[in-house]
Amino acid sequence: MTGTPHDPESAVIAARGPSGSSDPETDEIRDLARSAGYRIAGEITQTRTEDPALCLGSGKVDELARLLERTDAGVVVFDNRLGPYQTYNLGTRLPDGVNIVDRFRLILDIFGQRAQTRTAQLQVELAELRYELPRVEAKVSLAKRDERPGFMGLGEYDESREQDIKNRISRIREELAQIEEEEEKRREQRRESGFDLVALAGYTNAGKSTLLRQLARDLTIDENENQHPDLDATAESEDRLFTTLGTTTRRVDMDRRDVLITDTVGFISELPHWLVESFKSTLDAVYRADLVLLVVDVTEPIEEIREKLITCHDTLYERNEAPIVTVLNKIDCVDEDEWKRKMNALSALAPNPITVSAVEGTGTDGLLDRIDRELPPFEHERLVLPMTDDTMSLVSWIHDNARVNDVTYGEQVIIDFEARPSVVEQSRSKAGTLTIPAE
């Protein structure tokens, strides 16, 4: 088809649901498209079995083509996964110059826009390569089967491209593995310094970044930037998807403990396993935490919340041993009867949840108390130390890394405190190196 130039920033949404179901919901794909920078010009939906050649039925594709012509939209965003030949066939039926983007290509585009750190950029590239690989493999397989190396541009180029993709995937995995190893060392350094590690998990737009701002100290972080270069004094909180792609770590303002809380990339519906696996390095911040706060948008329908909780649990419990506390967020947007009804309905999946409004700060004191209770318990210790300059340094270190109940100074120094087991162990080791002064 030919026609006037189409607007590359204007998009039409296309969504197909299974036969016998209700019309497909398009709220999420619309939000995704807006996050990618598109203006929504219209939408087409259909309920039917998948057409293997076009995804939609032939008549609906004709309707989509007319809508694109009428709106001058330059992009059609499918809330479905399109195979390479479905994309090719659609391109022959839609206006010239219209870009066809399926759900996962759109997500990868958004990730690419958000990726700022080296880790995030590598993860995006890995996901894109894993998305492209089966398409290249399909072309190579077809060319070999038909013995037509030049068919549709197939041939030696595609075989070379296939091997290049596999080699690049291997190199990225090696680099990400090295980064993960460095991150794990950093986490252990923090634990040895007396920090508890808390991770925020949940779906996009559940309010994780807003909650982080409520829980964390508002000003600069009391951390050495060289020691903890990922710590960020700000956490973006906007009403759009994927504002957090990498991880943002900040210090939580708690009296009893030193806690670092990390905001991670949000889950999203129907992500394929290969895409989740590509972002394993980011999710490691969740898997390696001492406590996970699973943030849920309580304004959503019960069935939708239930499905999201099941998906999150399947992902988190696969590799995570830390306790998980469900946080029902946005209670300022629903009345008390509604959020209580939802809390009861979800009790099997989210026993004893915490309710908060991250925007207004309601319930955050109770959440901090719950964090304190769920984190590994403190051990009690009482050390009797010689009165030396080195002892004063140790007492100062214990003050920085533990909760000191009492210190008595005399011929000896007696310090009574509570701390994480790792801090107690370190204090005993440091105490063992102190030399009793000669008389």
CATH number assigned to the domain comprising residue 40: 3.40.50.11060
The better pLDDT of the pair 155, 158 is held by 158
Q: 424: annotated binding-site residue?
A: no
pLDDT at 18: 85
What is d(CA 367, CA 437) in angstroms, rounded to the nearest whole number? 48
Q: 71: annotated binding-site residue?
A: no
pLDDT at 202: 86
Same domain membership, residue 152 and residue 24 = no
Residue 35 domain-assigned (yes or no): yes
Same domain membership, residue 283 and residue 178 = no
Segment 90-96 shows an average pLDDT of 93
Q: 75: annotated binding-site residue?
A: no
Which of 13-27, 223-237, 329-343, 353-367 bottoms out in mean pLDDT, i.e. has the lowest?
223-237
Q: 247: annotated binding-site residue?
A: no
- Model confidence over 302-339: pLDDT tens digits? 998 998 888 888 777 766 678 899 999 999 999 989 98
Report the alpha-carbon angle 134-107-154, nearest 5.
Answer: 30
| End-to-end CA separation in angstroms for the chain | 99
Same domain membership, residue 238 and residue 356 = yes
Residue 438 domain-assigned (yes or no): no
DSSP secondary structure of 20-56? TSPPPP-HHHHHHHHHTTPEEEEEEEEESPPBTTTBS
pLDDT at 160: 85
Q: 85: annotated binding-site residue?
A: no
Same domain membership, residue 150 and residue 134 = yes
pLDDT at 354: 94
Q: How many domains does the chain have?
A: 4
Same domain membership, residue 201 and residue 162 = no
Residue 400 domain-assigned (yes or no): yes
Q: 198: annotated binding-site residue?
A: no
Model confidence at 144, pLDDT cuts 50, 70, 90, reads: low
Segment 226-235 shows an average pLDDT of 40
pLDDT reading at 284 higher than 70: no
Model confidence at 282, pLDDT cuts 50, 70, 90, reads: low
- Model confidence over 373-423: pLDDT tens digits? 898 888 899 999 998 888 999 999 888 778 889 999 988 999 999 888 878
Domain of 330?
Answer: 192-374
Q: Which of 23-32, 42-51, 204-213, 304-313 has the highest mean pLDDT?
A: 42-51
Q: 47: annotated binding-site residue?
A: no
Q: 35: annotated binding-site residue?
A: no
Same domain membership, residue 418 and residue 339 = no
Q: CA-CA distances (angstroms) from residue 380 to 190, 376, 420, 425?
A: 20, 13, 9, 11
Q: 88: annotated binding-site residue?
A: no
pLDDT reading at 65 higher than 60: yes
Q: 205: annotated binding-site residue?
A: yes
Residue 160 domain-assigned (yes or no): yes
Contact 103, 80 (CB under 8 A): yes
Q: 325: annotated binding-site residue?
A: no
Residue 106 domain-assigned (yes or no): no
**Strands (DSSP E) along 109-165, which ranges?**
none
Same domain membership, residue 220 and residue 143 = no
pLDDT at 218: 44
DSSP secondary structure of 320-386? --S-EEEEEE-GGGS-HHHHHHHHHHTTTTSSS-EE-BTTTTBTHHHHHHHHHHHSPPPEEEEEEEE
Segment 102-120 shows an average pLDDT of 80
Residue 202 domain-assigned (yes or no): yes
Q: 266: annotated binding-site residue?
A: yes
43 contacts: CB under 8 Å, gap ≥ 6: 12, 13, 14, 15, 26, 30
Looking at 101, 133, 152, the residue that finishes a domain is 101
- Of 187, 253, 195, nearest in space to 220 by CA: 253
Q: 207: annotated binding-site residue?
A: yes
CB-based burial of residue 243 (10 Å sphere; 0-12 exposed, 13-18 middle, 19+ buried)? buried
Same domain membership, residue 347 and residue 248 = yes
Looking at 143, 163, 183, the residue that finishes a domain is 183
pLDDT at 85: 82
pLDDT at 145: 63
CB-based burial of residue 117 (10 Å sphere; 0-12 exposed, 13-18 middle, 19+ buried)? middle
Scan for tokens 């894993």, then name that residue.
130
pLDDT at 67: 96
In terms of DSSP bridges, do strands 99-101 and 73-78 run parallel, antiparallel, or are they unpaired?
A: parallel
Same domain membership, residue 97 and residue 127 = no
What is d(CA 134, CA 128) in angstroms, rounded to the nearest whole number? 11
Which of 33-37, 251-255, 356-360 bottoms out in mean pLDDT, i.e. has the lowest?
251-255
The CATH number of the domain holding residue 352 is 3.40.50.300
Segment 50-78 shows an average pLDDT of 95
Same domain membership, residue 80 and residue 27 = yes
Q: 264: annotated binding-site residue?
A: yes
Q: 209: annotated binding-site residue?
A: yes
pLDDT at 271: 65
pLDDT at 239: 41
Q: 305: annotated binding-site residue?
A: no
Same domain membership, residue 127 and residue 223 = no
pLDDT at 323: 87
Contact 56, 44 (CB under 8 A): yes
pLDDT at 418: 87
pLDDT at 230: 41
Q: What is the chain's mean pLDDT, rounded? A: 81
Which of 14-18, 96-100, 200-204, 429-433 bottoms out in mean pLDDT, i.e. has the lowest?
200-204
Same domain membership, residue 203 and residue 66 = no
Percentage of the chain lying above the pLDDT 90 cut: 33
Which of 80-84, 180-184, 335-339, 402-406 bottoms out in mean pLDDT, i.e. has the lowest?
180-184
The CATH number of the domain holding residue 414 is 3.30.70
Residue type, 128: E
Q: For the whole model, what pTM was predicted?
A: 0.64
Segment 277-292 shows an average pLDDT of 71
Residue 1 domain-assigned (yes or no): no
Residue 250 domain-assigned (yes or no): yes
Q: Any idea what DSSP says for residue 216?
A: B
Q: 210: annotated binding-site residue?
A: no
Contact 251, 259 (CB under 8 A): yes
pLDDT reading at 79 higher than 80: yes
Looking at 77, 101, 125, the residue that finishes a domain is 101
pLDDT at 318: 66
